[in-house]
Structure 1
């Protein structure tokens, strides 16, 4: 492998990842980069594990989503284990789906029926109880080498940093938007009731608690209605 060329490609890819304007764009760029930069990779995806549930966050083709659903149903597979940090490993690999797999005896033959010949799974991120993995697939057995694994690991490392940055930016943007709508709602209440700022905020908070609705949702309603929503009347029997 031409590592100098690969390094240049990785630098370009890292720049492209940081240029994405959304988490979705970052995810899609990561999986596309895997097929472009890792030898033998025909398809790639990123899955999210939440307990035993699996959610496909990005995929280059339907085969990836089908593999995620299969691993969720069987509760086994390289990507499934990578996302769960099973045995403390960070990389999982099946070199040949046609060979009996002691570790994933149910998954391998079913994956072969999906058109998967070999695959690798890499831990990508952890957040609370949610774990993510970058998964690479080849239609042919024996396509992934040690060099492929090294290249994929470098990609996964860059991807984790970029994805973390994108998620942080998205959370910050949401936080700013939330503060803005709450401030706007407080202004409406202050003007309508001739009250102070802290009183307006307490009105929003009390309404949120009484209705068991998030504060930002109450604020959005106030902005839309121009006043606090009327309390729901109990239904008559």
Structure 2
């Protein structure tokens, strides 16, 4: 594995200078290019979303940050900068209600400027106000037509997020979406390669033990997979570990 030098941390001052500059596009491009390097160096989805929330914590007007991911298995907490975010996330998932749920369900940005006076989600508002949260910003993470997740920013003060903060959050969410999608593809490819290696090793065991050719050894593994309703790679792993086929 090739090691890369860590990119310098991106501070909120860098982004504010870019937004205040007469020509913000080149400066913003430079700032987010540095983030792109960090995301490129991230290993897997977990490392990628952790990079995103740490960037948000440095660059945005937030006290806490988090990423909730979507997938075939439902919603999954990807990364948080504080256990409180996990608690706020989980309570909304359990209740099936709240601004996070709205952002995930509709794929839209949800900004709660003043949590204490929020009326759309009264029960959520009361709980989160008690936790010391004053404002919340949820930004959807889209990759092509697929909702990858939601980036969440929390601040202890009301009205903490400006239009500039929201603009930066949307750019960050786009970078995060692409990076998470790429990381997922990479993990899928790695899992596929690993599965092929396991199956090949298991086939070798059968070929040696029973003097079979490759086609026959594969058919045996496939039949056991179907008969036991077990994934082919798990049948292979079982044979490698126990030298026996599953019953």
With the shorter chain as reference, the TM-score category is 0.7 to 0.9
Which stretches in structure 2 are left out of the alignment for 5+ residues? 1-15, 19-23
The aligned counterpart of 1:2 is 17
SS at match of 1:135: strand
Q: Secondary structure at the match of 1:65?
A: helix
Higher normalized contact order (CA 8 Å, seq sep 6+, divided by chain length): 1
Cα deviation digits, residues 56-84 of structure 1 (max 9, x gap): 22100011111102212332222211111
Residue correspondence of structure 1 range 71-90 to structure 2 within 5 A: 71-85=92-106, 90=108
Query: Aligned-pair RMSD on alpha carbons?
Result: 2.4
* Matched residue, 2:112: 94
Asked if 2 retains the 8 angstrom alpha-carbon contact of 1:84 and 1:131, the reply is: no
Q: Does 1:200 find its partner at 2:217?
A: yes
Normalised TM-score (structure 1): 0.87
TM-score for both structures, normalised by structure 2: 0.83
Contact 2:143 2:178 in 1 (8 A): no
The equivalent residue for 2:5 is none
Distance 1:225 1:178 in 2: 17
Aligned residues: 225
Matches within 5 A, 1:75-154: 75-85=96-106, 90-99=108-117, 101-125=118-142, 132-154=149-171
1:134 deviates by: 1.0
Runs of 4+ in 1 over 6 A off after TM superposition: 50-53, 126-130
CA distance in 1, matches of 2:73, 2:50: 24
For residues 53 and 185 of structure 1, the distance between their equivalents in structure 2, rounded to whole angstroms, comes to 33
Q: State the partner residue of 2:52.
A: 30
Q: Give the 3-state SS of the residue equivalent to 2:119 in structure 1.
A: coil
Measured after TM superposition, the shift of residue 206 of structure 1 is 0.9
> Structure 2 CA distance, aligned partners of 1:166 and 1:75?
28
1 CA distance for matches of 2:145 and 2:204?
36
